[in-house]
Every structure is written in C-alpha cells, then in structure tokens.
Chains A and B, each alone.
Chain A
C-alpha cells in the first residue's frame, strides 16, 4: 500500500465534482429547435446506466479531464512505498512525578495505541524509555511494545515536579534528529517541549484531599501533632480521619472541606506509641491519605556558658532558644561553649564556641563605614545594615580565620575552624551594640549551632518527607544498617540511606547497636497532590518529512504519470477546441 507524502494533494480530487458540475452546467446552457432529431438519435450509443451517465459516456474531454485530475492528485499526494529494513527510533521520557501514578493504567493504554503510529511506515521500531529524572536507570530498551508496557508495570512514579529538559536532551541524542522523542506526562502545556520533542498528556482533572504537612508542639507536657489537610479540588469534599497505632484504630471522625480549603487536625501523640498513622478516607491519589508519624526527638545539645556576668543574660537567652539544648556544668561534655573574650584573660575555649568580645572601657566611638557580609552559607540572605557597634578591643586574628562581616576595614564577625571545632567570633562587644535586636544575629547563631548539632553523632527521631535527603553523621568504620516499612508494617525496598524512600513509610538506620535515625516519611508535596491541572493532550503525529523519506521510497512510475497527465490534457484540449465545419452536405 502506498503512503502519501503530501496527503493534502488529494484535495485535488475536489476538481472532479467541479469538472462534473461545469459539464452539467454547460449542458443546461443551450436550447435549440432541430428537425433532424431522428438522425441524432442514431448516433447515440447504448446507454450503460441512467440518463446522466449516458451523457457522460461519449464525452472524451470530460473523461480526459477526470483522468488528468486523478493523475494530478496522485502526483501531488506524492505516493511512496515502504522501504524494507527501515527502523524508526522512539525515545520516551516519562514524567516520574507522583501524580502520574494516578493515571498509570491510562498511560499504558495510550502508549499502546500511539506507539504503532509513531512507528510510521518503518518496518521496525526501536524504543528506549527514560525517566524524566536524569540519574534514574532506563525503564526499557528494546523493540517490543508489549514488553515496554510490561516494564511500565514495574515503574513507580513517586517523585516531585521535575524538569525533563536533561532527559529530553539525552533522549534526543539517543534517537538522533531522525527519531521521535515523546514526553509522557499528565499535565498539558501550551509551550512545546524542548529538543523537538512531542508531548503526550494522559491525565484528567481529579479531585483530591490529602495531608500537606505536620508540625509538633508541646503543650502541658504532652506532645501535640497538628496536620494540615487540604482539599485540592474545586468542589467541597467530605472525608473521615482516624489515628492508627499498633494497638488499634480510633473512631473515624468526619472532616468537611470547602473547595481549596485547608483544615488542621490535631491530637496528642499517643505517649506509649512508637509508630502512629493518621489516615484519611481514601481517594484516587492514595499517597497523601496517610500520615506516618513518630514522636520527634532531635539530637540533644549540651550547652556550657563560660562568660562574664555581663553576658549571662545573653547566654541564657541563647540557651533557651536552642531546641533540645541543655545547659551543662561540665565543659568537657559540652557541645557548644558561650564565651566572652577579655584581653586581660585572653584564653579561648578549644571546642565549638560562640565568643563575644568584652570591653569594659565602653568609650569607643561608633563604627563608621559600609557593612559588607562575605559570601558564606552562614551569612546567606542576612541583612546587617542596621547594626550599630562601637569601637572596642579586637580579637587576635588567626591566619585561617574567615571574616564573615566587615564594617569598612574592620572585621566584625569571624569564623574560626580548627581541628573539627568551629568558633563564631564576634569581634566587638555585643553589649555595646544593638546586635540583640538584629534578626540576622539570631539566625546566624542558630545556623551555627544547628551546624554543630548536625555534626554531632547521636540518635535522632524525625518526621521526614518522602524522598527527603537524610543528613546523618555516623562513626567511621562501621556499616550502616537501614530498613523501611510501609505504614502497614510491610517491609519495602530502600536502597539509598542518604534519601528517604519515595513512599510513605517508617524507617530506621542503625550503626552497630546504636539507632542513629528513626523516622517516619510522609508525602508532603502539595504540587503533586493538586491534580486539577491534569489533562489530556495528544501529540501531533504528522511525522517528519525526513523520516518519511528515510522509511519509504518514491513512486518509480512518477514520470509515466506526468506523461499521461500531459497526454490527457492534450487530448482534452484537442476535443474541446472549436472546429470549423469541413463536411460538405450530401448532394
């Protein structure tokens, strides 16, 4: 069967009704009385059909014109024939965001129907399926559509929104410019995907209600969890929620949510429970319908205040603001020192510390000049422009000290790192400045202290989001043992302890006998939970001209058709041209 390189050329067939219309319109034009009708009837041939067809039969120009139109349509449509052993390469880039899991079945059906079309006129199809996340393994490589669809049964889209550009570039390089790159997602977009890719959107708008986050507070000694439930849909929704522990399940409680609304549900964390699940009545997107929880317990931080009396108040404020921080009287076991620097007693702590200069003279002038923060993670985004400080004595500056904040040529804050210890040095007397009014100061100190807490090797209990990076400090030399169970307690596959599993679960990381991390991971990406923008989009499978020419060969008889076309036009012209009478009447 031929394929047409330019199907629009078949529009030339519209010339057939036009020619027929002209033919019949001409028929109606002339009315003539004649006395020799019986002679005329002798000239008529046997009619093959109806009256109109009978009149068409003897019209040579008409038949030639119709033949010419057919030939012209054939030539304009550029008929081509399949070339043996031609291959069409197709690269699929799969949107691995969690919302795709809702349309898993639809996606397989749509791909099953669209892949034969992508094959075009090639005799074979080579398929490679990639995850939109570039570092993920290939989903499938082969030539069988059925095997591809089977491979998708094992593929689990659980991620967040992802930019497919990198994978699309890789896919384009795999199939070269002649192949087809198809981005399979659930959300249509007006903008065309890059790298000359096509987009297949398999989604439909879905109403979804789910947990979007959780927070914990302590009230009257009890640990209270507060979970946000959001109705992502455009209509009001009714749900029930209940608490599930190892001991049982609470009575479901109704929950009414207006369109787009957020509702907070809260309760005390069961004191004797290790794992708790907050469960919503299910809908089409199940990942945010369960909220696994553990009672959070950050790493404890020992805090030692070794300051002069002038700084006791500041040290107390700081100690109170740190989470899970305990003030200790044993300097050896302290994780963080708070120390003041007096030039009369210029001894600084050796471990991690916050050091403030103490100037008892209180006579220095206000420092002048521009305040400039160095580029450093501790200083990122902090505004120090309203800081007012007086000239005081200064710390002795070490060679490897890193200045974090300058005023003109004078260093105000320094970071000293020495054999695993970090010290944040305030090179002015804070009590002679307005630094205690500076939000930047609080943030800086908290960043510094949390950095110390993070570096500490100690057990921690956390509530994570699925796929969240886990920053875990472990002792060198011993292997980590990690495992995860789904909310129901069934073990799930978890291969990378640096990142939480991509589905709601409870997890645990141990080193030797120490449980370094016990955590619950819940789905917390409201962008993926909002399925109202999902929709359907079909790619335009016109097929490139280059692919068509590569897979097919042109009609070898095209020159013959052109000659026939010219011949038909000449014959039509010859029989249509007006003639002079040449026959003498019989005498």
Chain B
C-alpha cells in the first residue's frame, strides 16, 4: 500500500510529465461547453470554418457584409466553436495494480498524470474507481489532496478478482474515456471496449505492467499467493510451463490490442521501469494514447 510520501512523489512525476504530454484532446473535435478546444459545431471563436447562406434565426453579427456588398445576398461567416473537453477516467484500483511497489508507483503516477493533464487542458474530468464489480465515483478535487487513496481503500467488492463492472460506470457522451488498468483479469475485452466506446466516446487504455509479470524467472515449485483473493496455490513450474505462461500472457494482451484496434481505441502498455515521462514518450505517444504539448 502507498503512503503519502509515495503519493506525493508520484504526483510530482505526473506533474512533470503533464507539462510535456497530455491526452489526445486536439486530435478530435468536441461538442459541449465553451472552452479551449475546437468544437465540432460553429461557435464564436476566431477560427474561420466555412460560409453558408443566411437562414432566419442566424445571428446577424456573423453576416459577411463584404460578401453581401459584392453579391447582394446574405452570406453567413461561420467560425469554429471552442469547447471544454470531457474526460471520463475509469481507474482500476484492484490489488494487482498496487501489489508491487514499482507498479503501485506507476499506477499512481498515471492516475495523477491523467488528472493533472486534464486539469491543465481545462477538461472536465469524471473519475470512477473500479475494483471487481464495485465502482465508486471520485470527486476530482480529492486528487490533489491525495485523499482519493482513502476512497480506494473503501472499495470492498464481493470478488476482488472479478473483472471491472463497467456497466456501473457513468459515461458521458463525446468524452474521452481513459481506462487505467493492468488488464490482469479474466474477461473478454470486446464487450468492455464496446461499452467504453458507446455514445461517441474515444477510448484510451493505459496499462501499467511489470517485467516480472511478462517474463518471470520461475523455476521449480511455488506457493503462489493471489493478492486479490488471498488464496494460496501450489504450482510446479517447469520450463515448458513457463513457456506456456509467457505465451498465455502475450496472447492475453494481443487480444486486448486487437480489440482496441477494432474499436479505434488507443492502447498503450506502460512499463513500470524508468521515468514516467520517458516511458510515456516511448510507449504512449507512438500509440497515440497521448500527444505532446506544442
């Protein structure tokens, strides 16, 4: 579990990364409240968009008088609207996200990064913590004070190892849905992604991972402890077993990757080693899960 010092350290790393990277807010058009990003409709921004004939009810301030002088017909000058992006953050806070210190730190860094990135872009963020079938909306104001960690600890699902129940997560239309999860649960990614992309949502999946999970050096007999269920299982790990495990691991994430491509979701696996900004530049930007701030 993380203490306040670790949370502050993670917050610091996230702030540094958020100064250089942000969610792909610019790569899409937005609808909604006025803000800093170009909306899909016409607005009052300075960005010229198009011309069209005047129709009754149009704002006469946007009549192109120079065109009227040349043509004698009313022509409307349309400008792009500037709106505030909408981001829904679904944070998986199951035990597997925090059971190893480096992975816990990376999870917290990504959580802080998304929140701080949205805040910097003026996006409205709705955060939902999920663990098993339990879901808990989180007030974004609790993020900066690190009190969100208290909320995490309050989540007590009946089956902690169950996949997140995204049906309980309120998703807003036209929002970027950021799913922060290590995806280490037994579930078909297809329905989950279908759910995340509903109502014109754009999905970004940030998945922290450990080298110890992807390529363990197990050999011999082990009593494996499941941190989510608290179970103990004995296994004999032979080279053949290890090889099959690695294949299963790769297949699991290949399945997620394929499903993400099918649903036009940006899928980036974030290793827990190295500095956050470095790994985000290396993994998330090429996957178009993040974009650089110009």
Contact = CB atoms under 8 A, between A and B. Distances in A.
B249 A39 contact: yes
B221 A30 contact: yes
**Candidate in B215, B221, B253 with the most chain A CB atoms within 10 angstroms:** B221
A55 B234 contact: yes
Contacts of B269: 585-587
A322 B244 CA distance: 116
**Candidate in A23, A59, A578 with the most chain B CB atoms within 10 angstroms:** A59
Contact of B249 (A31, A36, A61): A36
A30 B161 contact: no
A61 B238 contact: yes
B240 interface: yes
Contacts of B222: 30-32
Interface in A167-206: none
A583 B215 contact: yes
Interface in B226-246: 226-228, 231, 233-236, 238-241, 244-246
Interface residues of B, number: 48
B226 A29 contact: no
Interface in B207-263: 209, 211, 213-228, 231, 233-236, 238-241, 244-246, 248-250, 252-254, 257
A36 B219 contact: no
A38 B186 contact: yes
Interface string B103-128: 00000000000000000000000000
A344 interface: no
A396 to B, nearest CB: 116
Nearest to A24: B221
Nearest to B271: A585
B99 interface: yes
A43 B221 contact: no
Interface in B134-190: 161, 182, 184-186
A586 B253 contact: yes
B74 to A, nearest CB: 56
Contacts of B228: 35
B96 interface: yes
Interface string A19-40: 0000110111111111111111
A39 B245 contact: yes
B184 A35 contact: yes
A575 interface: yes
A432 B254 CA distance: 141
A26 B213 CA distance: 22
B254 to A, nearest CB: 6
Contacts of B231: 37
A581 interface: yes
Contacts of A59: 236, 238
B219 A578 contact: yes
Interface string B193-216: 000000000000000010101111
A58 B224 contact: no
Interface string A256-279: 000000000000000000000000
Contacts of A585: 209, 211, 214-215, 249-250, 269
Given A27-B236, A40-B245, A35 B215 contact: no
A434 to B, nearest CB: 106
Given A43-B248, A586-B254, A33 B227 contact: yes
12 contacts: A33-B99, A33-B225, A33-B227, A34-B216, A35-B99, A39-B248, A40-B235, A40-B248, A58-B241, A59-B238, A575-B240, A581-B217
Interface of B: 95-96, 99-100, 161, 182, 184-186, 209, 211, 213-228, 231, 233-236, 238-241, 244-246, 248-250, 252-254, 257, 269, 283
Interface of A: 23-24, 26-40, 42-44, 51, 55-56, 58-61, 575, 578-579, 581, 583-587
